[in-house]
Amino acid sequence: MICVTGDMHGDYSRFNDKKIKKLKKGDFLIVCGDFGFVWNGSKKEKRILKRIGRKRFYTLFVEGCHENYDLLEQYPEEDFCGGKVNVISGKLMHMKRGSMFRLQGYDFFAFGGGQTKEIDIRRESKTWWEAELPTTEEVRRGINVMNEHGNSADYIITHEPPASMKEFLGFEVRQISHMHTFFDAIKNDCRFRMWFFGKAHKNKLIPPRYQCLFDDVVCIESAGSKKKGGKN
């Protein structure tokens, strides 16, 4: 089983969700950015990270607007299920941008990153990192990975939505970056079953293939337990 949810913002009580508590050994929880548990490097935070890493299932996350990017990059990088991760602690891992992961028979394309609305305010409080937005090299790597997989994935995991969905979700249209236009290119040119993203702090299904997640949890059965259909 694979469960997908939205922004946790360092709230450990989110692991008490009844769907997440049913995850077994070898299962996965994927968080669509703003994981928030890697933030200040304190002893308390490290204890919580170890506790998450000791769970029977894997916890994977892409980065959003509320992560400490400097801390994330200090964790060792490893190959995992076909993609690249930073291993935070045990079974807790950060999914590197532009990686394709093979999880329980499905391909997951992960591309984290965010765009903060009040950059100047957060720059002053030292809670903003330029690395929130991907570099040109990271976008190019993502394009190459998708090309290598025939411009096809079963599921796409991001924090931000494609540019064409920002106004629909209540975001300012002027806040569109090269990351959002890259996501629009994937939306238009690639085949996938479902695209999960966070950011909006709302749970909203956007038919037929997009789902905005906050505190809702969506579960995907392993390919071995359910006949796999074609990607759209």
In a domain, 147, yes or no: yes
Tokens of 20: 């997440």
| Nearest CA-CA partner of 196 in 168, 154, 229 | 154
Q: For 49, which DSSP code?
A: H
Q: Are strands 210-212 and 194-197 parallel, antiparallel or unpaired?
A: parallel
Tokens of 205: 């299904």
Q: What is the distance between the alpha carbons of residues 44 and 39, in angstroms, rounded to a whole number? A: 11
In a domain, 157, yes or no: yes
Buried b / exposed e along 194-228 (16+ C-beta atoms within 10 A): bbbbbbbeeeeeeeebbbbbbebbbebebeeeeee
Q: What is the distance between the alpha carbons of residues 208 and 171, in angstroms, rounded to a whole number? A: 21
pLDDT of residue 117: 66
Question: Which residues pair with residue 92 across a beta bridge?
Answer: 59, 89
pLDDT of 94 > 50? The answer is: yes
Average pLDDT over residues 113-140: 76
Single-letter amino acid code for the residue at 180: H
In a domain, 61, yes or no: yes
CATH number at residue 186: 3.60.21
Split into its structural domains, the chain has a count of 1
pLDDT of residue 227: 47
In a domain, 52, yes or no: yes
pLDDT of residue 65: 86
Q: For 134, which DSSP code?
A: P
In a domain, 231, yes or no: no
pLDDT band, residue 131 (cuts 50/70/90): confident
Q: What is the distance between the alpha carbons of residues 99 and 127, in angstroms, rounded to a whole number? A: 26
pLDDT of residue 53: 98
pLDDT of residue 228: 41
pLDDT of 155 > 60? The answer is: yes
pLDDT of 218 > 90? The answer is: yes
pLDDT of 212 > 90? The answer is: yes
Identify which has the larger pLDDT, 226 or 147: 147
Q: For 185, which DSSP code?
A: H
Q: What is the distance between the alpha carbons of residues 201 and 181, in angstroms, rounded to a whole number? A: 21
Domain range spanning residue 185? Answer: 2-220
Over the stretch 68-84, which tens digit does the pLDDT of each residue have? 999 999 999 999 999 99
Buried b / exposed e along 50-84 (16+ C-beta atoms within 10 A): eebbebebbbbbbbbbbbbeebbeebeeeebbebb
Over the stretch 16-69, which tens digit does the pLDDT of each residue have? 999 999 999 999 999 999 999 999 999 999 999 999 999 999 999 999 988 899
Winning range, highest mean pLDDT, from 173-177, 206-210, 222-226: 206-210
Average pLDDT over residues 121-149: 83
Average pLDDT over residues 168-173: 71
Q: Is the pTM of this model over 0.85?
A: yes
Q: What is the distance between the alpha carbons of residues 191 and 209, in angstroms, rounded to a whole number? A: 10
In a domain, 226, yes or no: no
pLDDT of residue 140: 94
Identify which has the larger pLDDT, 227 or 14: 14
Query: Cβ(49)–Cβ(86) under 8 Å?
Result: no
